[in-house]
Structure formats: C-alpha cells, structure tokens
Amino acid sequence: MIRYEIAATTVTTAPPERVLAVLDDFGNWPRWMPSLERVRIELPPNEHPRQGYRFKLHGLLVHADMEVIDYTPLSRATRFRISFPPFQGVNRCRLIPLGDGRYRIERLDQLELPDLVAHLIDSTQRKRFEKLAMEFLQALRREVEQPPHATAASAATTGRSD
C-alpha cells in the first residue's frame, strides 16, 4: 500500500456554519462540485449528517462508499472506498478563523493506493488530483459566498415574463 497526501487551501468570508451546511448537503454535491456532474448520490432515508453517517456515490463506472468520520463545529471528514481503480482514503475540510471575519479552508486528501494502482498513477495523475482539490475549494468558495437561495431566486426571476 502506498500513501500520499494532497493539500489545498483558500480563504472565504463565509461563516463556518454556511460552509459546513454546504458540505453536509451531500445530495447537492453534483450541482456545485467539480467532476460530480454525472454522479448519483444515494442517501439513507430519514437520517441527518453526523459522525458515522454513511452514503454512496454511483457513477457510470465508479462507485464509492462514504462515511463521515469527523463532524465538529470547524471540520468535516469522510472516509471513502472507490471501486475502480480500487483505492481508499480520507477527505478532510477544516476551517481556521483568521480573526478578521475571514476563514481559511484547508482541504487534505489522504489516499491509500494498492501498489499496482500506485505504480500506474504517475506524476501527471497526481497533478490532476491536486488540480481537482483546488477546483473543489474554488467551487466551494463560490457556493458559500453567494447569497443563500441565489440560484432559486435567479431561476424564479428568469421565469417571469414582463
């Protein structure tokens, strides 16, 4: 097993409650999260996110089992197991108050790859993972810094005929 980490950071003016509410809204991940546009998310009925919460991602070829393993006022983490290529890891987002109404969002991905898979993933693939981590944070920042319900309000406005 080969392990490596990918880290990315950004700064936001959104309060932690807003950031974590977006992260906890698993069913809406495909709406704003890069690379999940074609993924179906299977959530357990009548449950709310918390430590131990489990859900599944279903793509065309790839499936993932997810479990929330950290659920605190300033952090979230999920453990995942990907079906193809087979690997597992942890995605962690942590908010650090900067003292001026801004928060640094730190994302840390810890990946555990079987030796065979790791040898197939070259530096190009690692750079792709790093790019995806940064794109995730940029998309998260855009999502949390827009006014709540901005998308719904915009849709209602464009639907009007004057």
pLDDT in tens, 98-143: 989 999 999 999 988 777 766 666 666 778 888 889 999 999 999 9
Is residue 159 situated within a structural domain?
Answer: no
Rounded to the nearest 10 degrees, the angle between the axes of helix 16-24 and helix 123-145 is: 120
Is residue 156 situated within a structural domain?
Answer: no
Is residue 12 situated within a structural domain?
Answer: yes
1-32 confidence digits (pLDDT tens): 778 899 999 999 999 999 999 999 999 999 99
Is residue 157 situated within a structural domain?
Answer: no
Whether residue 48 is predicted with pLDDT greater than 70 in this model: the reply is: yes
Question: Based on the structure, what is the number of domains in the chain?
Answer: 1
CATH code, 108: 3.30.530.20
Is residue 112 situated within a structural domain?
Answer: yes
Higher pLDDT, 150 or 83: 83
Q: What is the pTM of this model?
A: 0.83
Range of the domain at 75: 2-146
Is residue 158 situated within a structural domain?
Answer: no
Tabulate helix, strand, coil % of the chain (nearest 5): 35, 35, 30
Is residue 101 situated within a structural domain?
Answer: yes
User: Residue 154: which H helix or E strand, with range?
Assistant: helix 150-158
- Alpha helices by DSSP H, listed for 6-149, are 16-24, 29-32, 115-120, 123-145
Six-digit token string for 80 = 């995942």
Whether residue 159 is predicted with pLDDT greater than 60 in this model: the reply is: no
